[in-house]
Chains A and B, each alone.
Chain A
Amino acid sequence: MAKRTLYDKIWDNHLIHSDNETSLIYIDRHLVHEVTSPQAFEGLRDAGRKVYAPHKTIAVPDHNVATTSDRLTNFGSEEGKIQLETLDKNAKEFGLNYYPVGDIRQGIVHIIGPEQGWTLPGMTIVCGDSHTATHGAFGALAHGIGTSEVEHVLATQTLIQQKSKNMKVEVTGALGLGVTAKDITLSIIGKTGTAGGTGHVIEYCGNAITDLSMEGRMTVCNMAIEGGARAGLIAPDEKTIEYVKGRPHSPEGEDWEKALKLWKTLYSDQGAFFDKELFLKAEDIAPVVTWGTSPEDVLSITDRVPDPNNFQGRKISAAKRSIEYMGLNPGDRLQDISIDAVFIGSCTNGRIEDLREVEKIVRGKRVKEGVRAMVVPGSGLVKKQAEEEGISATLIEAGFDWRMPGCSMCLAMNPDQLMPGERCAATSNRNFEGRQGRGGRTHLMSPAMAAAAAITGYLTDVRDL
């Protein structure tokens, strides 16, 4: 039999039929949130259609929800309120698995999927959200779709797709002190650029990847989309199985045994063909930050703001624009850049392990005066666990603002926003112009690095603390 990649295998398992380039694939899990679904449900209703598989459809509000404790009554905006009410109505009317605001299990869609055991190896998972790639950490083929496709999946539990190409990113060796999963994934994008993975599904492999916890693997896959890839994948192993075992929606008994058998087949065959390959040494990866307004603008914290004239072609004008927007000067040391705000959270770094990292750095220290530092746990359960472990107490003591779960200042659709010109050390995944508020300036980094910045008030090399 032909040698197949992990992606090929999952694809083959879900292929209903194909005509030339266009295929119809079966979808195992459909995650739905309030922002990209209202028009899809409306379309369904207009056409007199039903949700094909409500038991495989999971709905949760996250993008718009306020992160203040009065959020059940205080929505931040009238339009946001309407959107949340619309999801509530749709989830109930169509009988979906639903985690409303106020349910302790509510949180960012990509955090609660794995947490509740909806995300399992070998599955196809879609959501009207580009960071669906996160679930690839379990060896599931997971990617973002648009609202028309959301409607299509709701109505048919299938998706029309063209098969992507295969790309392999192998990271081997041991990470240095203070270097984390976030530094790996940012460094990869720094190498490939934001279009490097376009048209591909990336499989991450190598011992530096498999050495990561499931949380770390999710951080890596989360940003596959920033590298242009449709999805990221990591082959499931013992760690994966350990993580999913016993979750509320994981299989049990005979089904568990059956699932295990299939999961053991989920790896790329020796010698399987990849259209593109990239090899990185873990030793070469430093704690990094972004300096510009594209996630590919990645540099080691020990570097300086680049000179746009040292880039090639059209990147020259893009870099000029970025540096101006970011209010920087070529040649400035990154560590001399002072910050106004810190945002710790998002589907990239809003899990318990991330908060533990932050606590380690912050313990016994204080947030620099004048810095607004916010921690937003990725879900109600992450929040609860952090509170039980005493993490929240340490962070509050240090001067952090401890919030309710949601997307928050990752995209600033709720009231958590930067003011024009404000500079933020953020653990999220996008540093686009205006992403965290009009005129806001975002530097992406790991939770440990963001915590270090909160303490000193500057972009900081966490290894020096």
Chain B
Amino acid sequence: MDKFVKFSGIAAPMPLINIDTDMLIPKQFLKTIKRTGLGENLFFEMRYDSNGSLIKDFILNKDHYSSASIIVAGDNFGCGSSREHAPWALKDFGIKCIISTSFADIFFNNCFKNGILPIILSDDDREVLMEDANIVENSHMTIDLDNQKIIRKEGDSIDFDVDEFKKYCLLNGLDDIGLTLKNSQKIAEFEKKYSEQFSWA
């Protein structure tokens, strides 16, 4: 996984609540056996009409926002299925950070595994950034994970919380499996004890 470095980019406002994984990437694109190439179909049904033409009004189809790397979103983003195709599609499109007041659990975890940073803010803070994102001139922001700050156009910033371990993995681009295998001794010891009590499992 690539290291998550401090970056600046355009934030797109998507105030709709409960943006679900079927909206992020509908099922006809889950038939792939690859992780890449899904960006084109991100938000497919909102982005294209039934003839396959771009729907001009959709935020990510607008000139300025088509190169967004941040989404400021409504509550409960990513609810629905466990499909990792959702973060794969976001990543492939170029989204590196999503800001909301809440995320669905599985989606939230899946983001970290793919180098995307989901940030949870209070309603008030999120609204400040939503307004920024709405105004083309203010929609540029900087995400500084190391210092846990979102830096606004004007230079002032909003702090955010992040789980220590997840932050460490993102910053260092670490692969979970490699980390876990370092504990293989502990796993083996656990299994030994466990298999005595839980032989039936």
Contact = CB atoms under 8 A, between A and B. Distances in A.
Are A and B bound to each other? yes
A42 B16 CA distance: 35
- Number of contact residues on B: which range applies? 35 or more
- Number of contact residues on A: which range applies? 35 or more
Interface stretch (A276-284, A342-350, A430-438): A430-438
B50 A128 contact: no
A294 B80 CA distance: 10
Central interface residue in A24, A146, A314, by most chain B CB within 10 Å? A146
A144 B198 CA distance: 23
B201 A198 contact: no
Contacts of A123: 201
Q: Which 9 A-B pairs have the closest CB atoms?
A: A251-B200, A148-B113, A79-B31, A38-B33, A146-B110, A255-B200, A144-B82, A147-B84, A146-B84
B39 to A, nearest CB: 16
A39 B33 contact: yes
Given A130-B106, A152-B180, A258-B199, A314 B26 contact: no
A413 to B, nearest CB: 5
A74 interface: no
A413 B85 CA distance: 14
B82 A129 contact: yes
Given A16-B190, A156-B177, A294-B18, A82 B23 contact: no
A42 B201 contact: no
Interface in B41-89: 45, 50, 74-76, 79-84, 87
A228 B79 contact: yes
Contacts of B16: 317-318, 321
A77 B30 CA distance: 12
Interface of B: 15-18, 20, 22-23, 26-28, 30-35, 45, 50, 74-76, 79-84, 87, 102-106, 109-110, 113-114, 163-165, 176-177, 180-181, 183-184, 186-187, 190-191, 194, 197-201
Given A128-B84, A129-B81, A413-B30, 13 more contacts: A22-B163, A28-B198, A42-B33, A145-B106, A146-B113, A147-B110, A156-B187, A158-B180, A251-B200, A256-B200, A258-B200, A262-B197, A413-B31
Interface of A: 13, 16-17, 19-22, 24, 26, 28, 35-36, 38-39, 42, 47, 49, 63-64, 77, 79-80, 82-83, 86, 120, 122-123, 128-130, 143-149, 151-152, 155-158, 160, 162, 194-195, 198-199, 228, 230, 251, 255-256, 258-259, 262, 294, 314-315, 317-318, 321, 411-413, 420, 430, 432-435, 438-439
A161 B95 CA distance: 25
Nearest to B106: A144
B17 A315 contact: yes
A411 B164 contact: no
B22 A255 contact: no
A59 B48 CA distance: 35
Contacts of B200: 120, 251, 255-256, 258-259
Contact of B104 (A158, A198, A315, A412): A198
Given A21-B165, A294-B18, A195 B32 contact: no
A149 B109 contact: yes
A438 B45 contact: yes
17 contacts: A19-B165, A28-B201, A39-B84, A64-B31, A79-B31, A122-B201, A130-B80, A145-B82, A145-B109, A149-B110, A160-B180, A195-B79, A198-B102, A198-B103, A228-B76, A258-B197, A258-B200
B165 A26 contact: no
A82 B34 CA distance: 11
Given A86-B33, A199-B105, A259-B200, A430 B180 contact: no
Contacts of B17: 314-315, 318
Contacts of A38: 33
A198 B113 CA distance: 19
A259 B79 CA distance: 36
Nearest to A322: B18
Central interface residue in A35, A38, A151, A439, by most chain B CB within 10 Å? A35
Contacts of B79: 194-195, 228
A446 to B, nearest CB: 21
A123 B198 CA distance: 10
A281 B103 CA distance: 30
A49 B181 CA distance: 11
B82 A21 contact: no
Contact of A432 (B20, B75, B190): B20
A413 B15 CA distance: 29
Contacts of A256: 200
Given A39-B33, A433-B23, A152 B177 contact: yes
Contacts of B84: 36, 39, 128, 146-148
A147 B86 CA distance: 11
Given A36-B82, A147-B84, A198-B76, A22 B201 contact: no
Contacts of A82: 31, 33
A251 to B, nearest CB: 4
